[in-house]
Amino acid sequence: MTDHLAHHTSAAPPTPVGGAAAHSPLYARRVARVHRHTQAAAGRNAMDVISVIRTKRDRGELTDEQIDWVIDAYTRGAVADEQMSALAMAILLNGMNRREIARWTAAMIASGERMDFASLSRPTADKHSTGGVGDKITLPLAPLVAACGAAVPQLSGRGLGHTGGTLDKLESIPGWRALLSNEEMLSVLDSVGSVICAAGDGLAPADKKLYALRDVTGTVEAIPLIASSIMSKKIAEGTGSLVLDVKVGTGAFMKTIEDARELASTMVGLGTDHGVRTVALLTDMSTPLGLTAGNALEVRESLEVLAGGGPADVVELTLALAREMLDAAGLKDADPAKALADGSAMDVWRRMIAAQGGDPDAPLPTSREQHVVKAPSTGVLTRLDAYDVGLAAWRLGAGRARKEDPVQAAAGVELHAKPGDAVTEGQPLLTLHTDTPERFAYALEALGSAYDVAAPGTAFTPSPVVLERIA
């Protein structure tokens, strides 16, 4: 219909049959008005969503003008969800080059406001994870890096499906609030050094709208859209440097090292192009991080790390990311291991939680019901699938299927062994936590093929936590 209308509205005004009217000033003015109207109509319709969809459907490159127009029009509601869905699917199937992705990202940034931390006395550094199971790293990392001299403006999200959300975890702390105004965020950063909160509505609103659409149209995995979604928010956030934790494995969106490498390289390029010092680590997500997957369960484990203990893999990744963030912020001489050991990171955590209305001394919620999964045989645990554990935690109530769904603070999965550990038949392997015991059967179904136990003495070589570095 748009093409049809454009064709007819761009036609020249009718020519008079003849006579004096053809030469009258009134007629000339009418012709000029009609001409201006038709030219304006042609301009409005020259950039239409159907032509944009067709360009990408037919494996063409979108122009800068097409990208700017479609992002702006979709944000304003002039492009319908079903039309943007078609374009997103075309991008998933046919991809984008670096110029297109950079322009798409810039257009999403331009749809809203940009934050400015120039008034802070500290250099800013941020971290983003592409999401996984048991990935509680942000919780100890933000106060740790702040304890070493950087300011950490950590804008985080909620969980969806099998991956957990940082805000859901922190909301298990009584009184803690995720929603802060820009002024409140800056105040906490200035006084504490780190803040973890939700992105405001004014930050890349185009991404907020498109993200929700991708989730229900099977286009979440499109690398250009993942990269531009993440980087538009991080660049608009105004951080001076950024470290990306790109997960690889069954529990991650990127299942292969090749896909993870492509996503990481794309995002590092976007950050560099926009003047943000950016580096990426590819990290393993074939097995859950740490020994918990849930909300309050992961907060409790994070506190163990801040107290100088905690699971070895969580500590290792927290320190690796902290060193990258401090190096990018120009604080390469700082020692994050010392800040964990001497309690200074824990001090920042307590102040950060209190500054956002939380009670750092309040007891965390515990589930009303538990179910123990026992080792089926004696031997060596050689596999514990991250996706299956995350799915079980979600089914127990720790996650959500839709953004508006509630979550249970105490629900989740507790691990009693990791791959490489020796186990004995009948010993606890996993403990399931929930307030609604009718969920156990559904969660156990997800865990039916989640683990393997090999014969005693079987050799096992664990995957390294950090797989690659991309800068």
Is 208 noted as a catalytic residue in this protein? no
User: Do 343 and 411 meet the contact criterion of CB atoms below 8 Å apart?
Assistant: no
**From 127, 208, 214, 351, the catalytic residue:** 214
Marked catalytic residue, from 56, 128, 158, 395: 128
CA angle 414, 419, 425 (to 5 degrees): 75
* CA geometry: angle 222, 266, 237, nearest 5 deg: 95
User: Which of 434, 427, 428 is CA-nearest to residue 413?
Assistant: 434
Which of 56, 162, 233, 277 is flagged as catalytic?
233
Whether 233 is catalytic: yes
Give me the catalytic one of 85, 111, 229, 302: 229
- 128 among known catalytic residues: yes
- The Cα–Cα gap between 366 and 442 comes to 20
The CA distance from 6 to 46, in Å, is 7
User: 429 and 283 in contact (C-beta within 8 Å)?
Assistant: no
Residue 406 burial class via C-beta count within 10 angstroms: exposed 0-12, middle 13-18, buried 19 and up: exposed
Q: Is 433 a catalytic residue?
A: no
Give the CA dihedral 307, 308, 313, 314, nearest 10 degrees: 30
Pairing of strands 422-423, 379-384: antiparallel
Q: Is 229 a catalytic residue?
A: yes
> Cα 442–444–445 angle (5° rounding)?
65
Q: Computed over its alpha carbons, how large is the radius of gyration of the chain? A: 26
CA dist., res. 38 & res. 53, Å (int)? 25
Cβ-contact 279, 470 below 8 angstroms: yes
The token pair at 445 is 């179904």
Q: Which of 135, 168, 207, 245 is catalytic?
A: 207
Alpha-carbon separation of residue 187 from 16, 117, 192, 197, 200 (angstroms): 70, 11, 8, 13, 15
Nearest to 287 by CA among 70, 45, 460: 460
Q: Among all residues, which ones are annotated catalytic?
A: 128, 207, 214, 229, 233
